[in-house]
Amino acid sequence: MLFSHVRQMDPEKDKNLKWECLKSLCPSSCCFIPDRTFIALDEVPRLSKYFPVVITVEVDQQGNENPLLCAYLRLREDKRGCVYLREGKGCTLEDEKPYTCKQYPFFISQGCLAMDLTCPGFSTEKGKKIFDGDHINPDFEKDFFVYALKLEKAKAQTEEFLKTLFERDLVVGYKLVFEKVEISFNAVDEDKLLELPKDVLKEFSSKGYLRIIYAHLNSLQNWEKLIRRLNL
């Protein structure tokens, strides 16, 4: 499983550690394992062109509910990995893919740089050195941690958006049946949205929430793409 062996990075402990993406040779490709990934608020308009973007609620071990924006990369039954993964080529979205995909196997945990050593691309023999002395290799900073920082900076804004939706009772459960496949998910109820007072809608517009909501609603047509691929 992804993230089953994570720890913070240490320039002394990891001075000889290297990393490279094994691509098609990877025995546990991160493009095959998850069926969804959490995303930041500012990603919704871009990712809505490619994935169903929905609202999920995860419950932690203490029973606390944690609302998230999620993009579905595939249906769980589809063993071919992300819908935009192509054999011999890899990801066809390139710069359009989610920040979580761009940052992996590196991320930020509790304000510190961290890595998922579950990824088999780590070794002391092959790849680029992660540290250049006491500093992160500039290539890793540019290609990975810049997206980890974007996720971290967008966290509060994304949480506030979701909190507002739930406080206004705008999130409801839906079921979609297409080609005999049934999908359940949470989404904004447009009728309830339009019933909000004009001053609230004006506030939503000024904060950019309406643009995000309609991108989210338009993204739901991408469920059919995932279902058609499952049935091929």
Walk along the chain (232 residues) and give the pLDDT tens digit of each residue.
Answer: 789 999 999 999 999 999 999 988 888 789 999 999 999 999 999 999 999 999 999 988 888 889 999 999 999 999 999 999 988 778 899 899 999 999 999 999 988 999 999 999 999 999 999 999 999 999 999 999 999 999 999 999 999 999 999 999 999 999 999 999 999 999 999 999 999 999 999 999 999 999 999 999 999 999 999 999 998 7
**Confidence (pLDDT) at 96:** 95
Residue 164 is assigned to a structural domain of this protein: yes
| Predicted local confidence at residue 2, as pLDDT | 85
Domain coverage including residue 53:
6-230
Pairing status of strand 122-123 against strand 112-116: unpaired
What number of other Cβ atoms are within 10 A of residue 65's Cβ?
A: 9
Residue 185 lies in a domain: yes
Q: In total, how many domains does the chain have?
A: 1
User: Would you state the pLDDT for residue 71?
Assistant: 98
* 1 is a domain residue: no
pTM beyond 0.85: yes
Report pLDDT digits (tens) over 74-118.
999 999 999 999 887 788 998 999 999 999 999 999 889 999 999
- pLDDT at res. 27: 80
The answer to whether position 178 is within a domain reads yes
> Is 65 within 8 Å of 159 (Cβ atoms)?
no
